[in-house]
Amino acid sequence: MEGDRDDRDLKAWRGLWDRASRPVALTGAGISVASGLPTGSAKWNGIALRELFTRRRFEEAPGVFFACYRDWLWKWREAVPNPAHAALAEAGVPVVTLNVDGLHRRAGSVLCLELHGRLSELICPACGLLVQGDRAFKETVPHCPDCRRILQPNMVFVGEPVRHFAEAVDLVGDADLLLVVGTRLDVAPVNQFPAVAGRKGIPTIRINRRAERLLPALIAR
């Protein structure tokens, strides 16, 4: 029974949560599934998003790239934070996220390191101007209004270095409890976080399913 299992998990986690004064959450696609968003295996016209979202694809065929971006943005901007995002925000838990959906910030999380950037913004690679992604609905291939370069999503392309990593390692190393939610942390460099926590003896709670029920039950008292 899922409810019984949830109760057992919550009982086991309760003591860890109550003793923690500096919890940090690491979140991935699984936390946003209840908001209607896909996980990393999602496809667009039969092509996996992680294959589409490369710098090579972007540079070789920006028109195709932005056709995908528009579809993606359309779907993703309709998503709203779910109770798991809200619980972390209300409890003031710092968040390190692999997600580009911006839902932690929309839920009100102030300290939120978005390692892969943000889908809903476009950035000019030449002058750094940030504009809303909606601009891609007005131009087939959106250009910088200032310097006319092709804009790119304010996100990390597949295979490129993540952002804020040193800051994230410091945050994790300083925590006294790690909440790992909706990610297996099985890709570099985030696969280093469990080792960082292990070396410092930081306990870890892993929530891989039903975070929208389990996190509020654990955190909101």
Whole-number minimum distance, CB 38 to Zn ion, in Å?
A: 31
CA distance 214 to 19: 18
**Comparison of 77 and 143: residue with beta carbon closer to Zn ion:** 143
Whole-number minimum distance, CB 216 to Zn ion, in Å?
A: 42
127 binds Zn ion (CB under 5 A): yes
126 binds Zn ion (CB under 5 A): yes
Whole-number minimum distance, CB 130 to Zn ion, in Å?
A: 10
Binders of Zn ion among 146-185, rule CB under 5 A? 146-147
**Catalytic annotation, residues:** 116
Phi, psi (degrees; rounded to nearest 5) at 23: -70, 150
Q: What residues contact 128, with CB distance under 8 A and at least 6 apart? A: none
Nearest to 213 by CA among 83, 25, 18: 83
**Comparison of 48 and 126: residue with beta carbon closer to Zn ion:** 126
- Both tokens assigned to 154: 């304010």
- Both tokens assigned to 203: 């306990």
Residues forming contacts to Zn ion in the complex (CB under 5 A) are 124, 126-127, 129, 144, 146-147
